[in-house]
Amino acid sequence: MCTGGCAKCLGTTLIPLAVLCTVANILLFFPGGIVVENNLHITDEVWYFGGILGSGVLMIFPALVFLGLKNNDCCGCCGNESCGKRFAMFSSIIFAAIGVVGAGYCFVLSAVAINRGPKCYTGTEWTYPFQDGNYLSNHTLWNECQSPENVIPWNLTLFSLLLIMSGIQAVLCGIQVVNGLFGTICGDCKCCGCCG
């Protein structure tokens, strides 16, 4: 497969992942699927917008660049047609790095949120009743959270989805770094035999 075609495939995959991460982060603003009375009752990690900024907005830029690489020649340079393709592939490495940073941000936030557990009402106060992920293996601890109802499975499911999707995004952007290096060295596959 040509380096531009590979990049287009990666971009096509990143767009729906970015949308899903954004939706998952928005749903986390409704703990247990309900509207809370006070914004202070929402888990802190939700306010860091890992799914909206990290795996959402920051992922759209690399995805759009990857989608356009197949046809981007950057107008050629110095009369050499493949030179423009090489420069475009080189610039895609920078955007792929931005994507890795965004996905990494979301991944770390999601892991911290899963380990910490959700903020909930314990009968006396709104707090984080779980320590170091102890609630993950001991479901009897879930009874400590009286409100919002079903907040633990809600947060656990959505943050797990963010963790998985941001991990996939980071891998895809990493693949584009390697693909971009091949495209920079070899140029377009039509003009250079070493790329197939």
**In the predicted model, is pLDDT for residue 84 greater than 80?**
no
Question: Is there a domain that residue 37 lies in?
Answer: no
Question: Is there a domain that residue 128 lies in?
Answer: yes
Q: What is the pLDDT of residues 3-12, one digit of tens each?
A: 778 888 999 9
Which structural domain range is residue 96 located in? 3-32+43-72+83-186
Structure confidence at residue 193 (pLDDT): 41
Share of the chain above pLDDT 70, in %: 87
Structure confidence at residue 19 (pLDDT): 97
pTM for the model: 0.87
**In the predicted model, is pLDDT for residue 153 greater than 50?**
yes
Q: What is the mean pLDDT of the chain?
A: 87
Structure confidence at residue 75 (pLDDT): 46
**In the predicted model, is pLDDT for residue 118 greater than 70?**
yes
Question: Is there a domain that residue 78 lies in?
Answer: no
Question: Is there a domain that residue 64 lies in?
Answer: yes
Res. 192 pLDDT band, cuts 50 70 90: very low
**In the predicted model, is pLDDT for residue 173 greater than 50?**
yes
Top pLDDT among 195 and 142 is at: 142
Total domain count, the chain: 1
**In the predicted model, is pLDDT for residue 65 greater than 50?**
yes
Top pLDDT among 136 and 4 is at: 136
Instruction: Give the count of beta carbons closer than 10 Å to the beta carbon of residue 124.
Output: 7
Question: Is there a domain that residue 135 lies in?
Answer: yes
Question: Is there a domain that residue 195 lies in?
Answer: no
Question: Is there a domain that residue 194 lies in?
Answer: no
Pairing mode, strands 126-127 and 120-121 = antiparallel
**In the predicted model, is pLDDT for residue 74 greater than 80?**
no
pLDDT, average across residues 34-44: 92
> What amino acid is encoded at 143 in this protein?
N
Dist. CA 110–CA 51, nearest whole Å: 9
Question: Is there a domain that residue 192 lies in?
Answer: no
Structure confidence at residue 196 (pLDDT): 39
Q: Residue 40 burial (CB < 10 Å; 0-12/13-18/19+)?
A: exposed
